[in-house]
Amino acid sequence: MTAQIEPDKLGGSDNAVYSLKEVATLEGHSDRVWAVAWNPVQRVIASCSADKTVRMWSYNRSGGREDNGEDGSSKAVEFLPATEITTGHRKTVRSIAWSPSGKNLATASFDSSVSVWERLEGDEEEGESLGEWECVSTLEGHDSECKSVAYSNDGGLIASCSRDKSVWIWEE
């Protein structure tokens, strides 16, 4: 699939057309996928699902971002399954967010809770594996489904919002 975006329709000032093309489809969840988030430090993308899991994929480019193949297309991007977190949430995992350091991952669930995950110490990235993750905190209190979660720029605060019409701020 290919899409073209004209910057002037997005508020840009030049007349260049940006072209986007699908380079991969990541599969593995057993139910609908609700959100994805790129790790800000590592070459990792995480997804969350109604199957109550988080899946992570590592990726590599076979060439640089501007390095094009003979036909003018970008070099291949290879995604490898890295790990799966069985979250223990009782309902759908609706949203995920990486901490700015890329070391922690927060999950928001329809079970009205937010969990904070950390990779186990000494379980460093080797090959495509991202090892085991541990729930280091569960934030409870919302009266209804948590819809989203986000870290502050410095990573010291987490925001969660819920169907209960509230936004809660949590301090690490």
Return the pLDDT at 130.
Answer: 79
- Alpha-carbon distance of 118 to 105, in angstroms, equals 7
SS3 content of the chain, % helix, strand, coil (to 5): 0, 50, 45
- Across the range 117-145, mean pLDDT stands at 80
Q: Is the pLDDT of residue 4 over 80?
A: no
Residue 91 gets which letter from DSSP? S
Return the pLDDT at 168.
Answer: 92
pTM to 2 decimal places = 0.81
Q: Tell me: the pLDDT tens digits for 36-82?
A: 999 999 999 999 999 999 999 999 987 655 545 555 555 689 999 99
**Could you tell me the two tokens for 101?**
């350091």
- Alpha-carbon distance of 26 to 29, in angstroms, equals 9
